[in-house]
Chains A and B, each alone.
Chain A
C-alpha cells in the first residue's frame, strides 16, 4: 500500500467516524427534544386541561423569565400536582431504561432485566410484609416519617441483591452464570413468601398490594422527587462512564480482561449502581415492569450496540416511554387511575412486537 492510498483511507475513516459521532449526538439531542416536548405536553393534560402555551408561560413565569398575570388555579395544579409527577416519571423512566441496558450488558444477554438479581422481588417482599403484617409502627417512627414503606422496600432490594451477589461467588469472584441461577432461586423464594403473605391478606390489603405491585407515579410530590433525584443521581451519572468497559465485556469476561478491563470491579460497580437506582425507583413508585427489559432492545435497534450511546439513549427512551405511559394511566379512566405497569405493558408490547416483525424482514 503506498502513501497516497493510506492517506485516502485515513481520510475516509475520519469522515466516517466523525459522522458516526455526530449521528449519535443528533440522536441524543433529538430524543432530549422529544422528551422535553412530551413532558410539557403531558403536564398540561388531565382533569383540568392546560394548553401547551399556558404551561410554557406558567413555567417561564415561575422561573422569572416572563412576567404577567396567570390563571392561579392552573398554576397551582401545574406546579403542585402535575410537574412533580411528570418529573418523577422522567426520572424513574431514565433510571429503569439505563439500568436495564447495563444489566443486559453485565449478563451479556439481551433478555436480562434488573429483576434478575432479585431487586424487584426483594423490594416487593418487604413492601408486602409491611402491608400485610401491618407494621405501621415503622412508619410512625419520626426518623422514617412518610417514607417508611419506601425505605423498607429499598432495604429489601439491597438485601436480596447482596444475597444474590454473595451466592454467585466462586473462589471470591462473582460468576455471571451463577448470579443468574442465584437470582432465579432468590426470586422464586421471595415470590413464594410474597404469595403466602398475599394469601393471608384481607381485601383492603390485597388491593393495596396489587396497586403497589403494578406501580404508580401517583405518590409523586416535590419531597419524594427530591429523594428520588438524590438517589438516582449517582447511577445516572456513573453508569454511562462504564460504556466502554461494557463493550469489551460483550466479548466475554476473559477477552475483556485481555483488554485491560478490571472485570471484578466492573461487576461490583454495575450491581451497586443498579441496585441503588432500581431500589429507589421501586421504593418510590412500586415495580414498573417492561421498561428495563424492552427499552434497551428498542434503543439498540435505533442506535446499534455501542454501550457508550446505548446507555444514555436508553435513559432518554425510558423517560419518554414512562411520560406517555403515566399520561395514559392518569387520563384514560379519569378521575380514577390505571396502574402504570399495566399501561407500559399494554402500550409497549405491541410496539415492541411490531419492531421485531419489521426487523425480521
Chain B
C-alpha cells in the first residue's frame, strides 16, 4: 500500500504540492485527476522517488521511500513515462528486456526471456518483436513501453497463474498512459493495467478522461493547485460539484441501465454564450 503524509513540494518558492495526504491500498487502481498544472505529475514523481520528498513522508509497503536504494526500488516499482524518447534504434524485444535489467547482472536467464515474451503477448505487440521501436506508430510504441514496465514487475510464477501474488508488493505508476491512443487501444491498455491490479499490483495513473476513470479506476484523487479537492471511491468522488470545483466545468451524469457506472457529459452554457457573443460582434 501507499501511505502519503503531509507532503509539500515547491520549486523556487512556488508550491506545487501542499499538504497532500492519503492512504491507498494494494490491488487497486487510483486515478489522479486535475487541471493542467495542478501538480499531478509532481505528485507521481514524488511517489516514484524521481523527485525527492522535500517535506512529509511517503511509505511504500510500510517502509519509508527514502530508505529504498534505487536498485531495490527498481525491483518493485515501475514508471510508464508520459513521453518516451529513445536515443538509439533498439529492437522491440530488446527494449522490453530492459524492463528485466534490475533483475539480472549481465545476461538474462530463461525466466527473464519468458517474462518478456509473456508481456509482449499481453500487450499485443508480440508480432512486432523484431521491428525497431522507431518504425512503430505512437500507439504501438506506447504498448511496447507498457510491456517494458510490466516485464519489470512481473514474477516468473505469475505467468502461469493469474492469481499468483508476489511476496513483495509491486507498484506501477502511469503518467497519462492513454494520451494519444485511439478508443480501442485506450480500452485495451487500461484493461491490461486493470488485470495487473488483480495480481495485487498497486497502480496509480494520471488520467484526463473522466469516463475512463469512471470505468476503470477504483479510487480517484482530485487535485487543484497542489491541494487535494477530494479523494475516495470513484463513483462518490466523480460528482458534478467536485468536478466543477476541480475543472471549472459543469457536467451531467447519466446512468444507462446496462452499465454499472454512470457516464459524464460536460456542458458549459457560459462558454457557448461567450462564443456566441464574440461571433455576433
Chain A residues within 8 Å of B, Cβ to Cβ: 1, 3, 6, 9-10, 13-14, 17, 21, 105, 108-110, 244, 247-252, 254-255, 257-262, 300, 304-306
Additional A-B contacts beyond A9-B126, A260-B72 (11; CB < 8 A):
A6-B118, A10-B114, A247-B94, A250-B87, A252-B84, A254-B50, A254-B81, A258-B78, A259-B152, A300-B88, A300-B89
Residues of chain B within 8 A of A260, CB atoms compared: 70-75, 101-102
- Looking at the assembled complex, report how far the CB atom of A345 sits from the nearest CB atom of chain B, in whole angstroms: 24
B101 adjacent to A306 (CB under 8 Å): no
Q: How far is the CA of A234 from the CA of B229 in the complex (A)?
A: 56
Is B66's CB within 8 Å of the partner chain A? no
Residues of chain A within 8 A of B113, CB atoms compared: 10, 13-14, 17
**Number of chain B residues whose Cβ lies closer than 8 Å to a Cβ of chain A:** 39
Q: Known contacts A258-B74, A260-B71, A260-B102: does B87 contact A13 (CB below 8 Å)?
A: no
Q: Give the 5 A-B residue pairs with the shortest CB-CB distance, closest first.
A: A260-B74, A108-B87, A305-B88, A260-B71, A250-B87
**What 1/0 mask marks residues of chain B from 257 to 276 whose CB sits below 8 Å from any chain A CB?**
00000000000000000000
A259 adjacent to B102 (CB under 8 Å): yes
Is B281's CB within 8 Å of the partner chain A? no
Residues of B111-156 at the interface with A, using a CB-CB cut-off of 8 Å, are: 113-114, 116-118, 121, 126, 152
Q: How far is the CA of A21 from the CA of B107 in the complex (A)?
A: 10
Residues of chain A within 8 A of B114, CB atoms compared: 6, 9-10, 13
Main secondary structure of the interface of A (DSSP, over half): helix
Q: Which residue of B lies closest to A253 (CB)?
A: B50
Q: Known contacts A252-B81, A252-B85, A257-B50: does B90 contact A306 (CB below 8 Å)?
A: yes
What are 22 sample pairs from A and B whose C-beta atoms fall under 8 A apart? A9-B126, A10-B110, A10-B117, A13-B113, A14-B110, A108-B87, A109-B87, A247-B90, A247-B94, A247-B98, A248-B98, A251-B84, A254-B79, A255-B81, A259-B102, A260-B73, A260-B101, A261-B101, A304-B89, A305-B88, A305-B90, A306-B90
Residues of chain A within 8 A of B102, CB atoms compared: 259-260
- Looking at the assembled complex, report how far the CB atom of B243 sits from the nearest CB atom of chain A, in whole angstroms: 31
Residues of chain B within 8 A of A6, CB atoms compared: 114, 118, 159-160
Q: How far is the CA of A254 from the CA of B50 in the complex (A)?
A: 7
Residue in A9, A105, A259, A262 whose CB lies within 8 Å of B101: A259
Is B255's CB within 8 Å of the partner chain A? no
Q: Which residue of B lies closest to A247 (CB)?
A: B98
Residues of chain A within 8 A of B152, CB atoms compared: 259
Residues of chain A within 8 A of B73, CB atoms compared: 260
Most chain B beta carbons < 10 A, residue from A17, A248, A306: A17
A257 adjacent to B70 (CB under 8 Å): yes
Residues of chain A within 8 A of B71, CB atoms compared: 260, 262
Residues of chain B within 8 A of A14, CB atoms compared: 110, 113
Residue in B70, B78, B79, B94 whose CB lies within 8 Å of A306: B94
Q: How far is the CA of A3 from the CA of B159 in the complex (A)?
A: 10
A250 adjacent to B101 (CB under 8 Å): no
Is B280's CB within 8 Å of the partner chain A? no
Q: Which residue of A lies closest to B48 (CB)?
A: A258
B117 adjacent to A13 (CB under 8 Å): yes
Residues of chain B within 8 A of A249, CB atoms compared: 87
A258 adjacent to B85 (CB under 8 Å): no
Q: How far is the CA of A13 from the CA of B78 in the complex (A)?
A: 24
Residues of chain B within 8 A of A109, CB atoms compared: 87
Residue in B78, B86, B99, B159 whose CB lies within 8 Å of A250: B86
Q: Known contacts A109-B87, A260-B101, A262-B70: does B121 contact A9 (CB below 8 Å)?
A: yes
Is B108's CB within 8 Å of the partner chain A? yes
Residues of chain B within 8 A of A17, CB atoms compared: 108, 113
Q: Which residue of A lies closest to B104 (CB)?
A: A244
B116 adjacent to A304 (CB under 8 Å): no
Is B208's CB within 8 Å of the partner chain A? no
- Looking at the assembled complex, report how far the CB atom of A311 sits from the nearest CB atom of chain B, in whole angstroms: 13
Residues of chain B within 8 A of A9, CB atoms compared: 114, 117-118, 121, 126
A258 adjacent to B50 (CB under 8 Å): yes
- Looking at the assembled complex, report how far the CB atom of A358 sits from the nearest CB atom of chain B, in whole angstroms: 16
Is B106's CB within 8 Å of the partner chain A? yes
Is B91's CB within 8 Å of the partner chain A? yes
Residues of B46-83 at the interface with A, using a CB-CB cut-off of 8 Å, are: 48, 50, 70-75, 77-79, 81
Residues of chain A within 8 A of B106, CB atoms compared: 244
Q: Known contacts A6-B159, A10-B114, A13-B116: does B86 contact A110 (CB below 8 Å)?
A: no
Q: How far is the CA of A284 from the CA of B87 in the complex (A)?
A: 33
Q: Which residue of A lies closest to B45 (CB)?
A: A254
- Looking at the assembled complex, report how far the CB atom of B164 sits from the nearest CB atom of chain A, in whole angstroms: 14
Residues of chain A within 8 A of B101, CB atoms compared: 244, 247-248, 259-261
Q: How far is the CA of A252 from the CA of B73 in the complex (A)?
A: 18
Residues of chain B within 8 A of A250, CB atoms compared: 86-88, 90
Q: How far is the CA of A6 from the CA of B159 in the complex (A)?
A: 9
- Looking at the assembled complex, report how far the CB atom of B47 sits from the nearest CB atom of chain A, in whole angstroms: 12
Q: Known contacts A9-B121, A17-B108: does B116 contact A259 (CB below 8 Å)?
A: no
- Looking at the assembled complex, report how far the CB atom of B79 sits from the nearest CB atom of chain A, in whole angstroms: 5
Residues of chain B within 8 A of A257, CB atoms compared: 50, 70
Q: How far is the CA of A261 from the CA of B75 in the complex (A)?
A: 12
A110 adjacent to B88 (CB under 8 Å): yes
